[in-house]
Amino acid sequence: MDRVIVTGGAGFIGSHIVEALLRENYKVMVIDNFSTGHRRHLEHLPIDVYTFDITNPDVMDLIISLHPDYIIHEAAQISVANSVKDILNDENVNVKGSLHVIKAAIKANVKKVVFASSAAVYGNPITLPVSVDHPTRPESPYGLTKLTVEHYLKMAYKFYGLSYGILRYSNVYGPRQDAKGEGGVVAIFSECMRKETAPTIFGDGKQTRDFIFVRDVASANIKALKVDKNISVNISSGGSITINQLFETMKKAANSHLSVHYADARQGDIRDSLLSNDETKRLLGWAPCVDLFQGLRETIYDPNQYKKLQKL
């Protein structure tokens, strides 16, 4: 049975990856500092959990001692806004923390590291949809740190033979996503609809995004583990929608009549984003399975979020 470490495995995306790994009969170990992840995502699962911060150099000794066959590296500082406010913290978590993981993977003779990158590495697109050979010109420190780790992974293969899978996520949404902080617009709209409070759209709402359901992202990670080559691919739905259209679609899914407020656009946000997944389908034999309306309904009616609201 292959052993897989998932850093950030208690988080929104990470916990879905953990469940997908278990369905494929992997032995799963999670490393998470629980700054944003939740124990409730994991407590019912047959896994080993280690409370540790990837920014602590001792995490390298921990990883080596666990003898993993693979590492799926999800742990990160994920807020674009916070990366602008505090570039040193962004670098500490996303670059230095990732280098700890990469160095440990080399020493542990890990077969492959699968890394959660982001559409933010591209910056404002020149053409749409964005393919993986599109120029990378990040518009935020967050995007820059993700791109930096991509380069380090390629160097690690060049000098040490560490195989990698780089997955550039578009806007991931789904159950368990927290609306606080950089929770994602779907999570924020969902919470507003459950609480019946009007949400805020930053900018004019005509900016476009490519939304991918979290279980489709998890399945892509499993595919990336199994493919016998280094890859850099987009994990996306292949379609886009404006934020205004998203809000109207969610109102329909929730049978809601909420109105919306508008505020100034946020610094560092991309105007339009649409990632091509043609290369991903070819290389991974993967395609998204959950359509947007179905995924939005499942997100809005997430029972975990209802339980939280009932306690308020």
> Is 142 in the active site?
yes
Round to whole Å and give the CA distance between 84 and 165: 27
Amino acid, single-letter form, for residue 9: G
Q: Strands 112-118 and 241-242, how do they pair?
A: unpaired
Assess contact for 102 and 59: CB atoms under 8 A.
no
Q: For residue 152, how far is the Cα from the chain centroid?
A: 19
In the three-class reduction of DSSP (H, G, I as helix; E, B as strand; rest coil), residue 204 is classed as coil
Count CB neighbours of 310 within 10 A.
Answer: 7
**Helix residue ranges, H only, 35-96:** 59-66, 80-85, 87-91
| Cα–Cα distances in angstroms (integers) from residue 13 to residues 78, 105, 198, in the given order | 12, 21, 26
- CB neighbour class for 297 (10 Å; exposed up to 12, middle 13-18, buried from 19): middle
Transcribe 112-161 into DSSP letters.
Answer: EEEEEEEGGGT-S-SSSSBPTTS----SSHHHHHHHHHHHHHHHHHHHH-
Assess contact for 113 and 164: CB atoms under 8 A.
yes
Catalytic position from the list 142, 164, 169, 173? 142
Q: Strands 241-242 and 208-209, how do they pair?
A: antiparallel
Structure tokens at 280: 């991903």
Q: Residue length, the chain?
A: 312
Assess contact for 128 and 272: CB atoms under 8 A.
yes
- CB neighbour class for 154 (10 Å; exposed up to 12, middle 13-18, buried from 19): middle
Residues classed as catalytic: 142
